[in-house]
Amino acid sequence: MEEMYGLIGQMKVAEGKRGEVIAAMLAGTRDMPGNIAYMIAEDIEDPNSIWITEVWQTKTDHANSLNLPSVQEAIGEARAHITGFGTRVETKPVLRG
Amino acid sequence: MEEMYGLIGQMKVAEGKRGEVIAAMLAGTRDMPGNIAYMIAEDIEDPNSIWITEVWQTKTDHANSLNLPSVQEAIGEARAHITGFGTRVETKPVLRG
């Protein structure tokens, strides 16, 4: 069985655009097949930074999600406001038994 | 109302001790009042690194959790194997409405 896959990533956005980017991502990431968790958080210290913690049933599910129409739409809306990416860590999530 | 509070943190552990530290943390972090999520993940690239994403109802709930007997016990068990801490980010989690 393919093992679970996770990502922890930091996204940098243009001044004043964090709320707009988060709204687009929340809207676009509902109901993604194989997604166990998609947690968005605002960085308290950096007003232009967003952190996302993702848990997927498999790495393939994550890869496939990038082609979902809702995700493509979110990326399209967010792209203009994204200024870069910081930390990005691939993980193997450990869920409670 | 006090707002939600989150943490994303990286913990470094001694060679070969990651499984043991994670087991202690999983056991010690069940049933923490005010805890919404406590997600543990193994870093794929660094075999001595653990990432934890936490979501709390309030910052106070997180502070109080550090005094819980189960958490104290987990810290006691893990301490000998922890070699340091890396990234640590305080966040304001954004949950879906």
DSSP string, A30-64: SS-TTEEEEEEEEESS-TTEEEEEEEES-HHHHHH
State the pLDDT at residue A1: 65
Residues of A in contact with B9 (CB under 8 A): none
pLDDT digits (tens, 9 = 90+) for B42-83: 999 999 999 999 999 999 999 999 999 999 999 999 999 999
Taking the C-alpha atoms of residue A61 and residue B6, their distance in angstroms, rounded to an integer, is 26
CB contact under 8 Å between A39 and B30, yes or no, is no
Please compute the mean of the pLDDT values over residues B34-44 and round it to a whole number: 97
CB contact under 8 Å between A8 and B51, yes or no, is yes
Block means of pLDDT (10 residues each) for chain A, length 97 residues? 92 98 95 96 98 98 97 94 97 90
Domains present along chain A, CATH in parentheses: 14-90 (3.30.70.100)
Taking the C-alpha atoms of residue B25 and residue B76, their distance in angstroms, rounded to an integer, is 10
In degrees and rounded to multiples of 5, residue A65 shows phi and psi of: -60, -30
Please compute the mean of the pLDDT values over residues B31-48 and round it to a whole number: 97
Residues of A in contact with B51 (CB under 8 A): 8, 89, 91
A82/chain B closest Cα distance in angstroms = 18
Taking the C-alpha atoms of residue B23 and residue A15, their distance in angstroms, rounded to an integer, is 41
Interacting residues of A35 by C-beta distance below 8 A, sequence separation 6+: A29, A54, A55, A56, A57, A61, A65
- Closest partner residue to B39 among A42, A45, A55, by Cβ? A55
Taking the C-alpha atoms of residue A16 and residue A48, their distance in angstroms, rounded to an integer, is 7
- Closest partner residue to A94 among B26, B37, B89, by Cβ? B26
B43/chain A closest Cα distance in angstroms = 5
Q: Given a cut of 80, is residue B7 above it in pLDDT?
A: yes
Residues of B in contact with A35 (CB under 8 A): none
Please compute the mean of the pLDDT values over residues B5-9 and round it to a whole number: 98
Interacting residues of A12 by C-beta distance below 8 A, sequence separation 6+: A48, A49, A50, A82, A83, A84, A85, A86
Residue B58 is encoded by which pair of tokens?
Answer: 């309030």
Residues of A in contact with B93 (CB under 8 A): 39-42
Taking the C-alpha atoms of residue A76 and residue A66, their distance in angstroms, rounded to an integer, is 12
Q: Give the other-Cβ count within 10 Å of B77's Cβ.
A: 16
Q: Give the other-Cβ count within 10 Å of B87's Cβ.
A: 16
